[in-house]
Structure 1
Amino acid sequence: MALPTDATSSWTQGLGLPSRVFDDAGSTDYELYEEDEEFVLAVEMPGFDRDEITLAWDDGMLNIAAEHVDENRGRKRTYHRRFRFPKDVDDEAIDATYTNGILEVTLPLEEEGTTHGKTIPIEG
């Protein structure tokens, strides 16, 4: 007998578990690209209020966390994701907006920014 895997299944309700645990692991709820000397990150976060979302920058890593409590239904939704950037970002100029369930973060590159990491050859 297979257990249900969708987030609305009765066996997951009321457990206080993050809803992302039961989502498709291959799904993409964000878009990240580089243009005009900055990274742009757009994250789909419907159902959260702006004041429920926390952004933090720490040594090349952007942390996004959110928590929404629906007291009428006795449910809690959480979201947490980390993004590491391969180039130096001007952390004083990071900007974020949240409109219609989309969090958009712009991360300007430093003028003398260096690229982190290395290229890995693919064999085959």
Structure 2
Amino acid sequence: MSLPTSPANSWLQSTDFPSRLFETGRNDYELYEEDDEFVLSVEMPGFDPAEITVSWDDPVLNVAAEHADEQRGERRTYHRRFRFPKTVDDEEITAQYTNGILEVRLPVMAEATQGTEIEIRT
């Protein structure tokens, strides 16, 4: 019995179904770290700021939104979770929504000391 040597995507490509099942296809955000803070920019055109909820549940940032267009009978929702590898100062997180872009800034807390040397007694 031989195992496939190529990535799963390439040998599942002919079936089309599994690869589409696990791909989101959305590239609607940018996340980077600069000057001791994470900066997250999320494209959310068409939402009103009152329809967007941003919440912090250490170490995960939740971004959710819901928009109902009564005239067209349409409802749009958005939900993403972002996990952060460093300790974030949750009291200093800020969010701003401008021209369809939500920008969240998450300051990184100064790392705790690397430890204390313990004296060995004899």
Q: TM-score, normalised by structure 2?
A: 0.71
1:26 and 1:92 mapped to 2: Cα distance?
A: 33
| Paired position in structure 1 for 2:82 | 83
Tell me the CA shift for residue 26 of structure 1.
2.7
**2:41 partner SS:** strand
Structure 2, unpaired ranges of 5+: 1-22, 114-122
Q: TM-score, normalised by structure 1?
A: 0.70
1:113 and 1:98 mapped to 2: Cα distance?
A: 33
| Paired position in structure 1 for 2:11 | none
| Paired position in structure 2 for 1:59 | 58
Q: Which has the larger radius of gyration?
A: 2
**1:39 partner SS:** strand
Moved over 6 A (4+): none
1:85 and 1:106 mapped to 2: Cα distance?
A: 12
1:83 and 1:56 mapped to 2: Cα distance?
A: 11
Preserved CA contact (<8 Å) 1:39 1:106: yes
| Paired position in structure 2 for 1:39 | 38
1:69 and 1:26 mapped to 2: Cα distance?
A: 23
The verdict on how the C-alpha distance between 1:70 and 1:58 changes in structure 2, with shifts beyond 3 A counting, is same
1:44 and 1:50 mapped to 2: Cα distance?
A: 13
Among all aligned residue pairs of Structure 1 and Structure 2, give the percentage whose two residues are the same amino acid: 71
Tell me the CA shift for residue 27 of structure 1.
2.7
- Please say if 1:26 is aligned against 2:18: no
- Please say if 1:73 is aligned against 2:72: yes
**1:92 partner SS:** helix
Deviations 1:41-72, CA, capped at 9 Å, x for gaps:
00000000000000110010000000000000
1:45 and 1:36 mapped to 2: Cα distance?
A: 25
